[in-house]
Amino acid sequence: MSNETFNFYYDPTRQGYDDNTWSTISGAPVVVANHLSLGNSEIIHFADLLRGDLSMSIGIDAPAAGDAKQFGFMEHNKDAHLTFKVVDDVLTAESSDGVTVYSQEIDWDADWSNVDTVFRIKWEPGIASFYINGQLKATFSNTFSLGVPTIVIPGDTMSVYLSNNANSALLLNYFEVLGIQSSNLEVL
């Protein structure tokens, strides 16, 4: 088995929003002022990734009633994911294999409001760690109680995913994925 890993970087200023690398699920994402802006939009990148260390520089406002935002790794058809999620005024780190869902609430820091903030998910076999601006906020690992899964870290390929169903925009400054174990790199 090879120990070779892969990395890639997305910059909306350099690459724009390209239908050859992104699938628009809903809405109309646009590049505005060096950011990919999602207002009531949902997108998923074409690259299939197996594990990796994803950092996303994102600008969002403080979570508020009516918000519905989610970003990170996703296998859309199975709803398997490792994501940061905002529902109303609550921010969580969330893991799902499409059946078992586990989430942990993260207290919002006012310093993250309306500025580019780095949300990071380090996805390894059986474990996922969630960071915001370099601070560890949650760690999940495969956990079972009496043989029944309570936390499951997805083991299938997933893609970079962003969704915003809120009145305020979600602004992606960049994302990078380091240490990808496996990928269909030809789409990168």
Residue numbers of the domain that contains 131:
23-183
Predicted confidence (pLDDT) per residue in 55-65, tens digit: 999 999 999 99
pTM (whole model) above 0.85: yes
For the purposes of burial, counting CB atoms within 10 Å of the CB of 93, is it exposed (0-12), middle (13-18) or buried (19 or more)? Answer: buried
Predicted confidence (pLDDT) per residue in 42-89, tens digit: 999 998 989 999 999 999 999 999 999 999 999 999 999 999 999 999
> Is residue 15 in some structural domain?
no
Closest by Cα among 55, 95, 61 to 75: 95
**Inter-residue contact 79 to 152 (CB < 8 Å):** no
Return phi, psi of residue 51, to 5°: 60, 160
C-alpha separations of 142 from 32, 43, 91, 97 in Å? 40, 28, 22, 11
> Is residue 7 in some structural domain?
no
Statement: residue 1 has pLDDT above 70: no
> Is residue 172 in some structural domain?
yes
> Is residue 164 in some structural domain?
yes
Q: What is the CATH number of the domain that holds 144?
A: 2.60.120.200
Average predicted confidence (pLDDT) for the chain: 91
> Is residue 13 in some structural domain?
no
Cα separation, 81 vs 96, in Å, equals: 5
- Percent of the chain past pLDDT 90, that is, above it, reads 75
Cα separation, 25 vs 120, in Å, equals: 23
**Number of folded domains in the chain?**
1
**DSSP element (H, E) containing 171:** strand 170-180
Cα separation, 99 vs 174, in Å, equals: 30
